[in-house]
Amino acid sequence: MEEYEVDLRDYIRVIWQKKWIIVGVFLVAVIAAAVFSFRSPNAYETEALLQLESPPAVKGAQIQMPSVQLALLLLKSMDLIAQTVQELEQAQITAGWLASNLTISNSQGNLLQLKLKGSIEPTLLKRILEKHIALFEQRIAEELKKSVERELERVKKEQKRLERQKQRALEPLEKRRDEMLQAIKASQEALRLRGSQVDTIIIWANLSSLYSRLQAIEKERDSLIFPIEQQLEDLSFLEEELNGISSLNPLSVINAAFVPQAPIGPNRRLNILIVGALGLLLGVLLAFFVHYMQGGKEPSVSLQVSKSQANKQA
């Protein structure tokens, strides 16, 4: 059997013979990559850091604030994104573009990091993120206000219930008290028009009894009304606290959006290097393919051509 061995020189020979194919493919790839990269607009990125503020604890009230997870969903919701795009009134900005280029993450605790990138003017990029944050802050404030309003409505209902309870408790006592006052007034009038000394003694005794009974009524009134009035006072204090919470800002901007100065992409040099390497590899493969199609021997590590066993070696 006759052996035909192909070594590295055969590969180099083919590459040298077809060098213009390799160089041509390489140059076409590099030029195309360069044209595409330098014609592509610069991409910029701006970011902001927000913090969700927890409302102060109020005894007797349950203020519900959106959790971090709910805030993340709200920031990425198409409803809020569409509102941002609508209020910006920029034709080149769409809800789909904003949704795909806006990145939101929860770095730690109540911190929310927002990043927005795109191949648009840096100042417009900053405006978009600021508008989105402003609308989000408005939504969060509305949620806090709704929660406070629910608690205020509950407080007012409780105040009305206590007032009715107070009124029901006072009605019979006030009636008895008025009767005692009228009786005392009548006894005082009788004392002014007193006759004999015996009548005076009797009237004074009656007055003393009436005053004692009036004092008992007043004591009973205080014992019934004091707990109700204490609850009403607590509710009034709670109402003041809730009104104060409704004016709080539930969102703090730690780092505001800024106008990016340097572009983040595209990485033109890296793109040209990668495409150049791929073009060089494609050129080599094309060179060997052309060599093969022209009838040349295909290089391989070992190519054996079988002949007669008798003609191998003398």
* Confidence band of 306 (pLDDT split at 50, 70, 90): very low
Inter-residue contact 250 to 52 (CB < 8 Å)? yes
The answer, yes or no, to whether residue 65 has pLDDT greater than 90, is no
pLDDT, average across residues 173-201? 76
Distance CA 180, CA 217 (A): 9
Highest mean pLDDT among 61-65, 208-212, 280-284: 280-284
Higher-confidence residue: 161 or 66?
Answer: 161
The answer, yes or no, to whether residue 213 has pLDDT greater than 80, is yes
Question: What tokens appear for 303 in the block?
Answer: 């190519």
Q: What is the pLDDT, as a whole number, of residue 134?
A: 94
Question: What tokens appear for 208 in the block?
Answer: 């003393």
Question: What tokens appear for 219 in the block?
Answer: 């004591």
Distance CA 285, CA 293 (A): 12
Q: What is the DSSP string of the chain?
A: -EEE---HHHHHHHHHHTHHHHHHHHHHHHHHHHHHHHHSPPBEEEEEEEEEPPPPP-TT-------HHHHHHHHH-HHHHHHHHHHHT-TT--HHHHHHHEEEE--STTEEEEEEEESS-HHHHHHHHHHHHHHHHHHHHHHHHHHHHHHHHHHHHHHHHHHHHHHHHHHHHHHHHHHHHHHHHHHHHHHHT--SHHHHHHHHHHHHHHHHHHHHHHHHHHHHHHHHHHHHHHHHHHHHHHHHHHTS-SEEEEE------S--B--HHHHHHHHHHHHHHHHHHHHHHHHHHTTPPPP-S-EEE---GGGS--
Q: What is the pLDDT, as a whole number, of residue 196?
A: 59
Inter-residue contact 73 to 57 (CB < 8 Å)? no
pLDDT, average across residues 279-295? 87
Q: Which amino acid is present at 71?
A: A
Higher-confidence residue: 304 or 115?
Answer: 115
Q: What is the pLDDT, as a whole number, of residue 197?
A: 66
Q: What is the pLDDT, as a whole number, of residue 2?
A: 44
Inter-residue contact 266 to 40 (CB < 8 Å)? yes
pLDDT tens digits for range 89-142: 876 789 999 999 999 998 788 899 999 999 899 999 999 999 999 999 998 888
The answer, yes or no, to whether residue 277 has pLDDT greater than 60, is yes
pLDDT tens digits for range 214-245: 888 888 888 888 888 898 898 888 888 888 78
The answer, yes or no, to whether residue 66 has pLDDT greater than 80, is no
* Confidence band of 47 (pLDDT split at 50, 70, 90): very high
Q: All domains of the chain, ordered by start, with CATH?
A: 2-40+266-306 (no CATH), 44-255 (3.30.1890)
- Exposure of 96 in the CB half-sphere (CA atoms within 13 A): 1
The answer, yes or no, to whether residue 310 has pLDDT greater than 60, is no
Q: What is the pLDDT, as a whole number, of residue 308?
A: 40
Q: What is the pLDDT, as a whole number, of residue 256?
A: 93
Q: What is the pLDDT, as a whole number, of residue 186?
A: 81
Q: How far, CA to CA in Å, does 111 sit from each of 4, 36, 206, 287, 306?
A: 71, 39, 77, 57, 75
CB environment 47-71: b (16+ within 10 A), e (fewer): bbebebeebeebeebebebbeeeeb
- What is the pTM assigned to this prediction? 0.66
pLDDT, average across residues 181-191? 79
pLDDT, average across residues 64-87? 88
Q: Among 3-7, 13-17, 259-263, 299-303, where is mean pLDDT lowest?
A: 299-303
Distance CA 171, CA 128 (A): 64
Inter-residue contact 232 to 158 (CB < 8 Å)? no
Q: What is the pLDDT, as a whole number, of residue 195?
A: 56
Task: Return the residue matching tokens 């290097």.
Answer: 273
pLDDT, average across residues 289-301? 67
The answer, yes or no, to whether residue 313 has pLDDT greater than 50, is no
What dihedral do alpha carbons 202, 203, 208, 209 form, nearest 10°? 70
